[in-house]
Amino acid sequence: MQKNLKKQDERYLKTDVFDLIKQGKNYNVNKNIRINFSHLSVLLYDMRTFNLFTCLCFAFIGEIFLIAYSHLVQMSCDCDLQNAEKGTRETGKSSSNTTSEPLNSDMQHKQKVNFTSAKFFEPLIDKDFPVAATNIPRIPHIIHQTYKNNIIPRQLVGFVKTFAKLNPDWTYYFWTDISSRKFVAERFPTLLQMWDNYRSPINRADAIRYLILYEFGGFYADLDVQCMRPLDNVTFKYACIIPPEPFEQSVFRIKIPYLLNNAIMMCRPKHPFFQQIINSLHQYVPMLEQLDVAGPTFVKTQLFNELIKNSPSLSI
């Protein structure tokens, strides 16, 4: 009988403790000690709950520290920018009271902002957009915007009105899914099958902006873009303008040095760069990432392939 009990004890010792907990069995170590595994399971469950609660508390405290740190960084950036503006005003006053040779623009620019600081992702732009000495714009005064229908979301109406308010003499075109497809069928019939086969409406929204700028020229902006001043000055010197994405957008999110912004673009009609974009659209339809199909990374790829490698073959 004792041998059987010993073998039974050995069997329990070799059994995983969690199996015993699941079975709800009791294990007799000896006559005086008895372990109730059902109670032990409750104890272990309480310990796991405590550990989870502790982790959540630490995560909450860490998030508070991150919010506080970002707030302090923002305050520091604002303070530095205010000091830079103050220093600029003082420099202007001192230069007007002295006959010494003024600093060149590069030296003044370096004095305003500490570019070695990680807080400044973008350089401080203190110069206005260059303007050519002509009254004939190279980019037509046409504003293009698109949406799936003609009912603009309420939160975006204010942004759209800024373009009409600050550019009253410009022509305004609003494109919907229906008018866009009709335009593609009439002006670019060879692209209609590709248009219909796009997997996402975002791809069509990206492609239509290249087609209308190539055909009509003008200025394109997403509906969430706010116009801060009249656009006339940017239309005289250059025939095509595509600004870059913010530094943190390209480097931290997509892990590339730079990225072109297709949310704001302006160009003359029939520009060769947009011709190259249109000719390459069908090649990128199978791409998995939406940005690669017809989005900003697609535009950046075209710039790298054509304007950098084959710039002598393209003329503005």
d(CA 262, CA 143): 14
- pLDDT value, residue 101: 41
Residue 168 lies in a domain: yes
Q: Scanning the structure block, which residue is given the tokens 């974009």?
A: 277
Q: Does one domain contain both 27 and 108? A: yes
Q: Does one domain contain both 148 and 254? A: yes
Residue 152 lies in a domain: yes
Q: Does one domain contain both 31 and 172? A: no
- pLDDT value, residue 95: 44
Which residue range is the domain that position 105 belongs to? 1-115
- pLDDT value, residue 20: 46
pLDDT band of residue 98 (cuts 50, 70, 90) is very low
pLDDT band of residue 103 (cuts 50, 70, 90) is very low
Residue 132 lies in a domain: no
Q: Does one domain contain both 92 and 15? A: yes
> What letter does residue 166 receive in the DSSP assignment?
H
Q: Does one domain contain both 273 and 172? A: yes
Q: Does one domain contain both 99 and 17? A: yes
Residue 136 lies in a domain: no
Q: For 114-162, write each residue's pLDDT tens digit.
A: 444 444 455 566 677 778 778 899 999 999 999 999 999 999 999 999 9
Q: Does one domain contain both 105 and 151? A: no
Residue 126 lies in a domain: no
Rounded mean pLDDT of 233-261?
Answer: 84
Q: Is 90 exceeded by the pLDDT of residue 172?
A: yes
Residue 303 lies in a domain: yes
**pTM across the whole model:** 0.61
d(CA 231, CA 219): 9
Residue 135 lies in a domain: no
Q: Does one domain contain both 33 and 166? A: no
Number of domains in the chain: 2
Q: Comparing 177 with 287, which gets the higher pLDDT?
A: 177
Q: Does one domain contain both 182 and 84? A: no
pLDDT band of residue 108 (cuts 50, 70, 90) is very low
Q: Does one domain contain both 95 and 182? A: no
pLDDT band of residue 82 (cuts 50, 70, 90) is low
Q: Comparing 31 with 74, which gets the higher pLDDT?
A: 74
Q: Comparing 202 with 3, which gets the higher pLDDT?
A: 202
Q: What is the mean pLDDT of the chain?
A: 75
240-241: strand order across its sheet: 171-175, 142-146, 218-221, 264-267, 240-241
Query: For the domain that residue 185 is a member of, what is the CATH number?
Result: 3.90.550.20
- pLDDT value, residue 79: 59
Q: Does one domain contain both 94 and 180? A: no
Q: Does one domain contain both 239 and 277? A: yes
Q: Comparing 25 with 185, which gets the higher pLDDT?
A: 185
Do 89 and 82 meet the contact criterion of CB atoms below 8 Å apart?
A: no
Residue 120 lies in a domain: no
220: helix, strand or coil: strand
